[in-house]
Structure 1
Amino acid sequence: MLLEEWMRRHDGVAHTSQVYAAGFSKRTVAAAVQSGRMLRVRRSWLVLRDCHPDRAAAARAGGRLTCVSAARSLELWVPVHEHVHVAVSPTSARFDAHGLRVHWSNGPAPFAPRAAVDPLINVLFHVARCQPQPDALAIWESALNKGLIGAEALRRVAWRSERAAALAALACHLSDSGLETHFVDLMRAIGVTPRQQVWIDGHPVDTLIGDRLVVQLDGFAFHSDAAARRRDIAADVRLRLLGYTVLRFDYQQVLFDPEFVRDSVLTAIAQGLHLSA
């Protein structure tokens, strides 16, 4: 296998000790660097010239890609962010931190000494400490929804962070579970008590207010395909034909426009849509 091919299998970044351990010689490394196909940074890190800029930035800092930057590399939902988030040891040597958001603490999971990217547990740990709770929750639930980790595993981690522990208690294997919690808290604050996961006509609905007002909540990963969208449309039609009013809110609305959600529910209740005919 060619060194360049091996590097691509490692996402374009590797420590020279890893390269030598894989059987490549110093002469091979020197030739690759001289050809311009890869760069040597911080003396002992090799980076393919066309590797992802975030990974290259982490290597130049001698750290690991983490937080929202690592979450993005895992194809999780992340908010728009300008800086590359890098985890480094508290005793790390000096480096140029321009364009970086540096995380000086280590997460609860062990990692390889020459790792280029934090393990998922540590990524979520830094997300919890760095991001606003709504954004952090969305990232955590995105990881759960993709099946990268289970809710029970999250709850059993010794997080050493109150914010991370609180997110672990909130998140679950359903992509919209945290969303339901936010919605129920929002309703209780205005004196409305929804019932969760009520079965109607052999199917569960997210929340039921009174006898006839159904509120369905679309988690972050909702409608990931056309089939899921059609199922939701069919469910809403079935409920309406049974005499229910259906309100559907998404993640963005519940977390970032709660006034709209609150006012919509209050208007529906004022119109008596929660009452039996």
Structure 2
Amino acid sequence: MDPLQLLDSLGGVARASTLLEAGLSSNDLASLARRVRRPKRGVYATADCRRDFLAAIMRNSVLTCASAARDHGLWIRVQPARHHLGCGHGHANGSLALASRLDATIHRGLRYQPHHTLPLAAVEDVVLHALRCLPEQAAVPLAASAIKLHGLRFEFLEEDLTARKSGRVLQTLRKVDLRVESLPEAEALLLLLPLAEALGVDVEPQAFIPGIGRVDFLIAGFLIIEIDGVAFHSDRTSMLRDRERDNSATLSGYVKLRYLPDVIWNAPERFVSEVTAALTGRIRG
């Protein structure tokens, strides 16, 4: 492979050791040095390289927590303004002190083998760091997606946090519900749980109702909530199917509310208020 193509495949930035392990020779590196920048000894970077990868490599660290979530395919809605960098346990070196001054969030303690070529922490460390660092509304969906998509065991996370006596973080982990099937559903569930607890009713994600099918949420046995994705009603067949489901639900005595993800993300108070009104209207009636 052409050295520049290899570098591009690594996000446009890599250490010399990574390039040599990938098969380049010393002559290839000398040629590459004439075509790209060398921001630090032993580091090669193109002008349009990934800035987050560059930030990690320049500081002898790897991306973790929210900064590594999308590369691992994990559910996260908002990319952080600050780079989240992970370093080996106890390595409080000058580069990481500099990172702190340059508006980066430092996570100490990498317990699992990082990615073999990219500056990315292992998914286990990414999730453990996220559970400790991120707001619950971001950490819970991220952890749920790691378990669902990567086969990370819930029990593994629970045992790790128990061993570290991380009680507060354990409470966050225990809000993970593997029945949800998307980021908007995971965030909606976190809004619904306190409401359902206050009213003394149950919330069932991905509930199956005979004659209607599977619904995103069934609350108190009568309120159906659907979180429509971006492909909602993208064709006539799906539109007709959803209309039939809505009509069947109404004829069977269910109340149904539909929301786009934007409402969950940008108007959570409205979402909670309308669900509350639907629930209390039937319960009190």
Tell me whether the two structures share a fold, i.e. TM-score over 0.5.
yes
Show structure 2 runs of 5+ residues with no match: none
Which piece of structure 1 moves more, 113-122 or 222-231? 222-231
Native 8 Å contact 1:170 1:178 kept in 2: no
In structure 2, the partner of 1:154 is: 154
Q: Which residue identity lines up with residue 17 of structure 2 in the other structure?
A: S
> Partners in 2 of 1:6 and 1:247 — Cα distance?
50
- SS of 1:79's equivalent in the other structure is coil
Shift of 1:208: 3.6
In structure 2, the partner of 1:183 is: 192
Q: How many residues align?
A: 264
Native 8 Å contact 2:212 2:248 kept in 1: no
> Partners in 1 of 2:106 and 2:263 — Cα distance?
31
- CA displacement 1:65-105 (0-9 Å, x = unmatched): 11211113445423253212211233243123254423231
In structure 1, the partner of 2:105 is: 102
> Partners in 2 of 1:187 and 1:257 — Cα distance?
19
Shift of 1:181: 5.8
In structure 2, the partner of 1:60 is: 58
> Partners in 2 of 1:112 and 1:177 — Cα distance?
27
Structure 1 residues 269 and 135: alpha-carbon distance in aligned structure 2, compared to 1, 3 A threshold: closer
Q: Which residue identity lines up with residue 149 of structure 2 in the other structure?
A: L
Native 8 Å contact 1:67 1:124 kept in 2: yes
In structure 2, the partner of 1:69 is: 67
Q: Which residue identity lines up with residue 247 of structure 1 in the other structure?
A: L
Shift of 1:188: 2.0
In structure 1, the partner of 2:8 is: 8
Native 8 Å contact 1:65 1:118 kept in 2: yes
> Which of 211, 216, 236 is the matching residue for 2:225?
216
- SS of 1:156's equivalent in the other structure is helix
In structure 2, the partner of 1:138 is: 141
- CA displacement 1:222-276 (0-9 Å, x = unmatched): 514246874655433331233322123566766886653443244335544886x
Native 8 Å contact 1:245 1:273 kept in 2: no
> Which of 250, 253, 267 is the matching residue for 2:277?
267
In the alignment, structure 1 residue 169 sits paired with structure 2 residue 174: yes
In structure 1, the partner of 2:25 is: 25
Native 8 Å contact 1:71 1:77 kept in 2: yes
Show structure 1 runs of 5+ residues with no match: none
- SS of 1:138's equivalent in the other structure is helix
Identity of aligned residues (%): 20
Structure whose residues are more often helix by fraction: 2
Native 8 Å contact 1:63 1:116 kept in 2: yes
> Partners in 1 of 2:195 and 2:263 — Cα distance?
12
In structure 2, the partner of 1:225 is: 231
Which piece of structure 1 moves more, 234-243 or 155-164? 155-164
Shift of 1:50: 1.7
Structure 1 residues 113 and 203: alpha-carbon distance in aligned structure 2, compared to 1, 3 A threshold: closer
In structure 1, the partner of 2:209 is: 199
Structure 1 residues 192 and 22: alpha-carbon distance in aligned structure 2, compared to 1, 3 A threshold: closer
Shift of 1:64: 0.4
RMSD: 3.4
Which piece of structure 1 moves more, 77-86 or 117-126? 77-86
The two structures have a TM-score, normalised by structure 2, of: 0.75
